[in-house]
Amino acid sequence: MSLSPAEIWDRLRQRARQVLPEQTYRTWLEPTDAIVVEGDTLMVGAPDQFSADWNESKHADLLATFAPVALGHPMKVRFKVNEERAGRVQMDMFVAPPPAPIVAPPTKQQSRISTPLNPLYTFDQFVIGKSNDVAAAAAQAAAQAPGKVYNPLFIYGETGLGKTHLMQGIAHEQLRRNPALRIAYVGTEQFTNEFISAIQTGQMGDFRRRFREIDLLLVDDVQFLKGKESTQEEFFHTFNAIYEAGRQIVLTSDRPPKEIPGLESRLISRFEWGMVANVDSPDLEHRIAILKKKASVDHLELTIPDEVIEFIAQHVKSSVRELEGSIIKLLAYASFKHREISVDLAREALRDKLRGANTSDFPDVPPTTITVATIQQVVAREWGVTPDGLRSKTRTKQLTTPRQVAMYLCRELLALQLVEIGNAFGGRDHSTVIHSLERVAEDMAGEAGFTERVLKVRGMLETLRTTGQLGT
Ligand SMILES: Nc1ncnc2c1ncn2[C@@H]1O[C@H](COP(=O)(O)OP(=O)(O)OP(=O)(O)O)[C@@H](O)[C@H]1O
């Protein structure tokens, strides 16, 4: 009887569920589906690239170790993005796509433009608070009455506070109303580079058409215009052409127009013609609201408890981007450590980010790098054998069990490749290592006493890594 891909995946995944923490299972493996079996490989679809990569690096080999017992034969597992479900937002909320290139104006054949905007930078994903309410209101007004009320809209503020998000929110809203809209979204450096290359290749005509025959111009980081005289000259004419045609211009910068050094006064005055709006750092309540919004969009409300959200919001104050980065780091850390997300875990995971926070929440203890030798020593001590014994060829039960446990912990804590583990344990081959990992996973699923012992050693090593002290 041959199993369908879905049945195979179910068997492997259920075994993984027995050994992985529930939260890890739910975050990474539950939102996946079997796609197809190709030869000896099961292809599994993840909802986005981040989770595909994460599962591939963290869980694919482990899942394969279950195959001989669960299926009766070996089976490799590979992850890729499930195109059918790619629309679903999972980790993408926290991972910005690569910078978008300029949107080309439509050709005769192309009446609809596919924009390279970040799909997550919409108004409904933007959390409004005291620090950004004026800018958000201006952006919404510019989206509703483009070229009329606030033209240009100039949004300034420090890095990671939502300027690009608001700017793209305008584009999304306008595209929603008119999908045929011609939009150019570009960073100032990219504008400069394209300008230089147009001069070099003698294609200024094309360049001008691309930037002037559009309905909405979005330019990020105009502070980089400073000191670039001919780019400023070209930008001035681009601005005028679009402005005079009654079309909307949106600009962002890290400071207000007047404070951009080396910016021509005619540009300064044009940038101030419409609305200059600031985005500032969010206060505590606003930070909590932003984190909750991101967690809910990403279906992580159950995974990240409220007190953890509050803990992060209290300690990460520099920018919204940093808040998002903290969540990514925490999720990754929890998955790697196979632990539930808690305030204690957040304190450990974010220690580096928060080291400068000068708070008693983060006692300054030196972390230690754990190596294979450390794992061998600690395991050997627990089982009353020697590290040399673990590396030897001897296959008595007294040595085999701790050796398998040490291999398992090398995989779990150091994420070593199978071949690296084999080399570190007396040159054992790949299949012996797989068998060892599988054996430990199985015994952990079935024997409470054994599991407790493995987890105790693991806890000691984790304490050593984060505090520099060997926990007991
Ligand atoms: N008020 C907010 N609500 C929801 N998400 C926000 C908010 N402010 C910022 N973000 C998110 O923070 C991240 C950084 O925002 P963004 O890229 O817009 O910052 P920026 O001010 O343009 O930074 P830079 O100057 O470095 O380009 C984005 O993922 C954005 O979605």
H or E element in which residue 236 lies: helix 229-244
Question: Cβ(383)–Cβ(402) under 8 Å?
Answer: yes
Sign of the Cα torsion 367, 370, 373, 378 reads positive
pLDDT at 81: 86
Cα–Cα dist 375/58, whole Å: 19
pLDDT of residue 85: 55
Estimate to the nearest angstrom the gap between the alpha carbon of 153 and the chain centroid: 30
Write the DSSP symbol of residue 131.
T
CA distance 465 to 472: 13
121 CA → ligand 1 middle, Å: 8
Higher pLDDT, 404 or 85: 404
Choosing from 89, 155, 161 the residue with most ligand 1 atoms within 8 A of its CB, the one to mutate for a pocket test is: 161
Give the whole-angstrom CA distance, residue 192 versus residue 252: 16
Q: Which residues of 153-188 are buried (b: 16+ CB within 10 A; e: fewer)?
A: bbbbbeebbbbbbbbbbbbbbbbeeeeebbbbbbbb
Residue with tokens 């919404």: 140
Ligand 1 environment, Cβ below 6 A: 96, 121, 125-127, 132, 157, 159-165, 252, 254, 290, 320-321, 324
Bridge partners for 81 per DSSP: 46
- What number is the average pLDDT over the span 156-182? 93
**3 exposed, middle or buried (CB, 10 Å; 0-12, 13-18, 19+)?**
middle
User: Each residue of 329-369: pLDDT tens digit?
Assistant: 888 788 778 888 999 999 988 887 775 544 444 444 456 67
Both tokens of residue 171? 């584009």
Reported ipTM: the value is 0.99
- In this prediction, residue 62 carries a pLDDT of 86
Tell me the per-residue pLDDT of 300-315, one tens digit each, with 9 for 90 and over.
Answer: 888 899 999 999 999 9
Question: Which domains does the chain carry?
Answer: 5-88 (3.30.300.180), 92-278 (3.40.50.300), 284-357 (1.10.8.60), 372-467 (1.10.1750.10)
Contacts of 208 (CB under 8 A, 6+ apart): 238
Rounded to the nearest angstrom, the distance between the alpha carbon of 159 and the centre of ligand 1 is 8
Q: According to the model, what pLDDT value does residue 74 have?
A: 84
Residue 324 Cα to ligand 1 midpoint, Å, equals: 9
Query: Within 13 A of 70's CA, how many CA atoms are on the CB side?
Result: 24
Q: How far apart are CA 43 and CA 336, in angstroms?
A: 22
Q: Where are the beta strands (DSSP E) in 157-234?
A: 183-187, 216-220
Annotated binding site for ATP: 160, 162-164
Q: Name the DSSP class of 302.
A: T
What distance in Å separates the CA atoms of residue 118 and residue 170, rounded to the nearest whole number? Answer: 12
**What is the 170 CA–ligand 1 centroid distance (Å)?**
14
| Distance from Cα 126 to the centre of ligand 1, integer Å | 9
What average pLDDT does the chain have? Answer: 84
Ligand 1 atom nearest to CA at 121: 31
Torsion (CA) 77, 81, 84, 90 in degrees, nearest 10? 110
Q: What is residue 105's DSSP assignment?
A: P
Give the pLDDT confidence of 186-225 residue by residue, as tens digits.
889 888 988 998 999 999 999 998 899 899 999 999 999 9
Does the pLDDT value for residue 321 go beyond 80?
A: yes
* Alpha-carbon 82 to chain mean position: 18
Q: Omega before 282 cis (within 30°)? A: no
Euclidean distance between CA atoms 388 and 381, whole angstroms: 12
The helix, strand and coil proportions of the chain, stated in percent and rounded to the nearest 5, come to: 55, 10, 35
Ligand 1: residue of 165, 296, 328 to mutate (most ligand atoms within 8 A of CB) is: 165
Predicted confidence (pLDDT) per residue in 62-119, tens digit: 898 888 777 878 899 999 988 765 543 333 333 333 334 344 343 333 322 333 788 8
Looking at ligand 1, which atom is closest to the CA of residue 252? 22
Tell me the best of 95, 164, 224, 328 to mutate to test the pocket of ligand 1, counting ligand atoms within 8 Å of each CB and taking the most: 164
Residues 6+ apart with CB under 8 A from 391: 376, 424, 425, 426
